[in-house]
Amino acid sequence: MNDMPTFLTDTSYPPSFRELLVNQFLGLDTAEHVLVNSFYDLEPQEADYLASTWRAKMVGPTVPSAFLDNRLPDDVSYGIHLHTPMAAECKAWLDAQQVQSVLYVSFGSMASLGPDQMSEIAEGLYSSGKPFLWVVRATETAKLPKGFADDRAKARGLIVPWCPQLELAEQPPRLLPRLRSLMPTQQSQHAPAGKQPPVGGSELSV
């Protein structure tokens, strides 16, 4: 159970999260086509299993064309944000940082960490000596160590409730390379030469 996402096992979560996930698999055995937002080299074992069991095809990463191959220049967003992104604040702060110097931490729109985990991450980020951009949803800020956001974090980092990940990844490379892309083979398979697309589907995380 410890390997399951918190919104599946924690009864304090709204049941809508669980229902949303489970409902994706209704009719899976009878579907004519099953498309997965991933690509083979990222998850070969899982891709082989899904292909042999449900004839699934990897079609990812599904990111807007403007960030991938630019065949549709006006296709610049997913069209929905679960939370309000602080685009201007994030961009201004990143522009003031050195190239490939920033740690970026985000655990997505549903995962929930405990106060002890938040404290460990906060201490790790501060002790790293690197500037950091940490996405902490408004519902999670109470779990931050007391005074961290207003005191220690301001000396080196920026904590925001949500960040426009696509736009952030498209900026000049302020993020550390290892954290900037969780899909290093993505460029050769899905993007024109010289253009590294941002990560789609999963959040950039530490």
- Asked if the structure places residue 33 within a domain, the reply is no
Could you report the per-residue pLDDT of 109-130, keeping only the tens digit for each?
777 888 999 999 999 999 999 9
pLDDT reported for residue 197: 34
Could you report the per-residue pLDDT of 79-109, keeping only the tens digit for each?
666 677 788 898 899 889 998 899 989 888 7
Query: Domain with 111 in it: what CATH number?
Result: 3.40.50.2000
- Asked if the structure places residue 87 within a domain, the reply is yes
Domain that holds residue 86: 81-190
Reply yes or no on whether the pLDDT at 181 is more than 50: no
- Asked if the structure places residue 128 within a domain, the reply is yes
Reply yes or no on whether the pLDDT at 34 is more than 90: yes
- Take residue 32 and report the two structure tokens written for it: 């004519």
Total number of domains in the chain: 1
Buried b (16+ CB within 10 A) or exposed e, 170-188: eeeebbbeebbbebeebee
Report residue 123 CA to chain centroid gap: 21
- Asked if the structure places residue 50 within a domain, the reply is no
Could you report the per-residue pLDDT of 191-202, keeping only the tens digit for each?
333 333 333 333
To the nearest 10°, report the CA torsion of 108, 109, 112, 116.
50
Name the 3-class secondary structure at 34. Answer: strand
Cα–Cα distances in angstroms (integers) from residue 167 to residues 67, 91, 122, 173, 198, in the given order: 9, 9, 25, 12, 9
Residue type, 196: Q
- Asked if the structure places residue 131 within a domain, the reply is yes
- Take residue 126 and report the two structure tokens written for it: 């501060």
pLDDT reported for residue 170: 65
pLDDT reported for residue 67: 75
Predicted TM-score of the model (pTM): 0.64
